[in-house]
Every structure is written in structure tokens, then in C-alpha cells.
Amino acid sequence: MAMRQFGKSENHEPADANGAGGGAAKPAVLSLTPATVTQAVVDQMATTPDPRMREIMEAAVKHLHQFARDVKLTPAEWLVGIDFLTRVGKMCTPDRQEFILLSDTTGLSALVNLMHDKTAIEVGTDTSLLGPFFRENAPRFKAGDQICKDLSNGEVAMYGKVTDVNGSPIPNAEIGIWQTDTHGLYDIQADPTGAMDSRGIFTTDANGNYLLRTVAPLDYSIPMDGPVGAMVQAQKRHGMRPAHIHLLIGAPDYRELVTALYLSSSEYLASDVVFGSSSEDLVADIVKNDPSCPIKGMDAIRYDFKLSRMSEADRLSGRVGSDPSKIGADS
């Protein structure tokens, strides 16, 4: 019998066709089916000492496996997915965070932010995406200064108050602002030398007031020259963000506010490719020759920001807005 030529069993019972001894106890292996592989992975990862890491990884594996089952993912398709993720990783540099772009264009950043908002102990100004163009150590300006170098399309003032949720002014709050320049580009995109432009930090006065000069931001295409742009194009999405101004506002004992104001004139408010313009309250008008603006005769945006008090959990969880260029850095 041909089967006898492949493995011999000690008790001389016939070996099976795959070479294991016929009657001997077979070595224990993971005997897996599409229905059992998920639990096998979860069981093996159950040794993870950190309980939050264990919870996150268990849920991630379960959902990823279910996704593969739902779409009946083939090996060739999964290689396409791995190729895509590899390209996303290769595109990342200190000036370009393609993974944030992927998270943003798939709405994951918006979801994480919206869930985070629900954990605030008070309802302050709505939040919006940090996006990939925030940078630490922006220049500090004094009230009324201009943050942009190119003013060829005119200037716009921004003014208002920073208060707590009851309207009491917060003096010395720091307002970080960053936006596209007159040509619709962030400084990181426009200037390879790394010089900063169209961003800065202001401080509120004793009455919580702030005042600054900027330019009108423009509707803006997310970077389309990488794998995420290719995905967006393949999906026939326009890839545009409505014109917006980013703000990061902080004060001791208040929850850091990461938000943005969106211009009411933009045609992309309802179709933002990164799902950031999700609150009507963050839509602002540029008022022509605003009579209430502290700098007379200027076109201006007036906006008052409300900060929630910081909870113990906020204190422990650290900053919401941190510099994307630090992600993946060695130290």
C-alpha cells in the first residue's frame, strides 16, 4: 500500500495520506475554519497585560475579520490593500502625514473627535479637525498684527472674545491660528524652506478679547498627489475642503479647543472631503467694512469662543492638538 511508505506509526497502524502516524495522537495544531479563526486570535492575544490595549486589539481583530467575511475578501484584493497601506506609509514625512489624511477622508478622525466632544463636562464651542498642517512653535503676535505675508487679495480682521461657558471672559487665553495663504496653500506646501506663514499665536487681553489680521482663506483641495488622493479620485469625490481658518485655543484649567471657522460663502460646506464642516455654529461670515470691528473700515469675521472647564480625565489624556510632524519620530 502506497500509504505505508509515508510515515510509520509506532503501533504499526497505517499512516494517513498526509504522513502523520495513523493511530498515534496527532500533534496539537490550530484547527481553523473561517468561523473559528477570530476566537483563536483573540485567545492568543488574551495574554496582553495592558487592559486597554487588550480591549482595543480584540475589537480591532473582530471587526477586521468581520469586514473580510462581509466582503468575502480575496487574497489578491488584500494584497491591493497592503500595497495601498504601504504607499500611505512611504508618503509620510515630517511635513506630510498621509495616514492622517486617510483617517480624515474616511471620516474616522471626525468620528473620534465627535465622540471626544461628548466627554466634555461643559458644552463649549464645537470642535473641528486639527488636520495635518498644525505646527508647534508658531510665531507669537500682538493684538491686531497680520499673520500673512502676501496681502495681494486684501486683508480680513478677526475679533471677538474667549469666555467660559457662562460668558465670563478668559484673559491670557492663547489662540493659535493657521490657514491657507492668498494662493490657497499652507506654508508647509508653499515654502520648502520651512518658513512659517499664515499662522501664529495671539493672547486675549484682560477682558478676554482678541483681535488679529489675516486674509480670506480659500476653498482648498487636500493633497491629491499621493495614495489617498488616488483613492478619492477613484471614488469620483471632488477632494475639496470648504475655506476655513483653524484655531487651537487653550487656557489653564480649560479644555483645549481644536476648532475651525468655515466661510459661509463656500460651495463645499455640505460636502467637505474630510467631514470637518459638521457644525452650523462654526460657519462664519466676512462682513464687508464691518462697523463693529475694532479696526475701522476692515472686512471682518467676528467670533466668540466658549471653553469648557477641564476635567480630571482631560488632564490625564493630555493635549488634543499636537504637531503631526512628531508622529513616528524617534524621540
The three grid cell numbers given for residue 153, joined into one nine-digit string: 487679495
Give backbone dihedrals phi and psi of 159, rounded to 5 degrees, phi first.
-150, 165
307 binds, among Fe ion, ligand BEZ, none (CB under 5 to 8 A by kind): none
101 binds, among Fe ion, ligand BEZ, none (CB under 5 to 8 A by kind): ligand BEZ
Residue 121 near residue 308, CB atoms below 8 Å: yes
Window 62-121: residues binding ligand BEZ (CB under 6 A): 101, 104
147 Cβ partners below 8 Å, 6+ apart?
141, 177, 197, 198, 199, 200, 212, 213, 214
The three grid cell numbers given for residue 291, joined into one nine-digit string: 462697523
Residue 147 near residue 177, CB atoms below 8 Å: yes
Taking CB positions, which residue lies at the least distance from ligand BEZ?
Answer: 131
Measured from the CB of residue 71, what is the shortest distance to ligand BEZ in angstroms?
Answer: 26
Establish if 159 lies at the interface with ligand BEZ (CB under 6 A). no
Establish if 241 lies at the interface with ligand BEZ (CB under 6 A). yes
- From the list 206, 212, 144, the residue with the least C-alpha distance to 176 is 212
Establish if 250 lies at the interface with ligand BEZ (CB under 6 A). no
CA pair distance 60, 64, nearest whole angstrom: 6
Going residue by residue from 273 to 312, which x/- string records binding to ligand BEZ, judged by CB under 6 A? -x--------------------------------------
Nearer to ligand BEZ among residue 250 and residue 324 (C-beta): 324
Residue 247 near residue 259, CB atoms below 8 Å: yes
Window 119-148: residues binding ligand BEZ (CB under 6 A): 129, 131-133
Residues that bind ligand BEZ (CB under 6 A): 101, 104, 129, 131-133, 220, 222, 241, 274
